[in-house]
Amino acid sequence: MPRRSLPSQVMTMSFTAPSARQSDPEPPLGEEFAENAQWTRGEHSEPIANSGLLILSDYLIDRTQTLAFPDGACAGFDCLATKGAVIALVNVPGLENPLSVANTHLNSRRSTHVVPERADEVYAWQSAAVRDFVRTQVPESEAIIFGGDFNAGPVPARRAAFENNTPLGENQRDGLAFATGNKLVLTFSRTAAVGTVYRNCDKIQYRSGRETDILSRMALVRFGNE
């Protein structure tokens, strides 16, 4: 089958998840981490918000898979939301098999209002969990688009956790970084795009597959300061 580039579309069909956390018999990050949980930072509270993860598509969503981080796999005020990851298989016209589209939101750092080391420890755990989830659900030979708030930032420990737990393998590409480096960003949003790449949090990553090429052709940042 010939390799195909994907058509560009405005997405309208929606899927949101996860909506509830799971409870594990053992603390996911160990007894010591669990014992140091702070009620005043939301770490003993039930979540009051869902994941906020949303995938939109003009095309039929064939099926979905979700991952909700379990109780205890969060730090600070991030525990008040049910974070995790979601994968939707989208039936894109012209492709023989559905395209995997994934989304995630990993634990933040300063806004958690706990010590940075605690937030970073959770971040490393979540990064590994998302890596395992994606690699289990999407074969390495298949194409995938993976966006979200990865919250790596400039912190060395987080950068290392992100790079060591690359969910898409050695063929992973950063769409906006590629676009800015190859002058594919619309002029009016170039400053905002460069700033987004520098902050190293919000990303759209992709991997081409055996039968499908995914290419960065144009980019813009809609909510920049320009």
Q: Regarding predicted confidence, which is higher, 147 or 25?
A: 147
Residue 182 within a domain:
no
Amino acid letter, residue 193: A
Residue 193 within a domain:
no
Residue 179 within a domain:
no
Residue 192 within a domain:
no
Residue 89 within a domain:
yes
Residue 194 within a domain:
no
Distance CA 214, CA 205 (A): 10
Supply the DSSP symbol for 152.
-
Residue 216 within a domain:
no
Q: Is the pTM of this model over 0.75?
A: yes
Listed in sequence order, the DSSP H helices in the chain are 31-35, 116-137, 156-164, 175-181, 190-199
pLDDT in tens, 52-88: 888 989 999 998 999 999 999 999 999 999 899 999 9
Domain count, the chain: 1
What range does the domain containing 17 cover?
Answer: 9-174+202-208
Residue 134 within a domain:
yes
CB 221 within 8 A of CB 194: no
